[in-house]
Amino acid sequence: MRFPVIVLEAQKTVARPVSLDGVGLHSGRPVRVTILPAPSDHGILFRRVDVTDRDNVIPARFEQVCDTMLCTELVNGAGVHLRTVEHLMAALAGLHIDNAVIEVDGPELPILDGSAAPFVAMIERVGTVDQRPPRRAIKILKRVEYRVDGKMAALEPADGFTIDFEIEFPSKAIARRNGSYSIDPADFAGLLSGARTFGFLQEVEYLRSKGLALGGSLDNAVVVDGDAILNPEGLRFEDEFVRHKALDALGDLYLAGAPIIGRFVGYKSGHALNNKLLHMLFADRTAWTYVAAVEEVEGRLGAAWTEASVAAPL
């Protein structure tokens, strides 16, 4: 007899190496990213394969974040940097990839179409494999909140993982929007992964004058000029702007080193607040605990790895 069963969720990695080529948002130069399988309990590591004279491995951890001005940028102890990791991290989070080595042959990941969808597609092209021991998750025990300059980011207890986000811009093309998104691998590709990054034309022009955003175009961002959207195709979602902010938050929060069980609440939050929130969370040992991640599957009586075996924190 088949019925829903709550079981321990297995760790996952990619089934085999897979690569993708694109251009860097800021340099405009070609860059290749390759995702390779990694063993259980390995976590996510980036490797700058173009750097050969020093340590080129950068852990995908919130403590490694060194800059959040235009993207999320990581650095290791040898001073090796990697920019724009948030969209790939969101794809890994949304598809529940726990272990991987990500090789990059430049200082930034490719911007592709400005969303996480191409990264999702490359992972789905090769598939994933389950690993043991089971997944470990970070369970939020009490609300932790960071506020600055009228902006806010918070984590609070909840079942599963949900992102509630609100944005507000003076442009009528964006205005005030809010959305609530429950993150699940079955829905992630259609829910958040395709939401593109966005910016304002005057900001793009300024960045280019400073030698940045050289790879930016209407092919990899939604560009707003005043109250108008310049992209001929328009938006992919009616609420694409707030969906992308939720996507960024998902990627930034996966730098916690494990999936989160709780609710993220953001108001005009960005990379800086998201990272500050993680620092606040881990500074308060009473605000979180590690638990075994569980999932609901269709099973039979006598299924292994039942809910009873994961009642206690790890």
Residues annotated as part of the active site: 271
Residue 125 tokens read as 């092209």
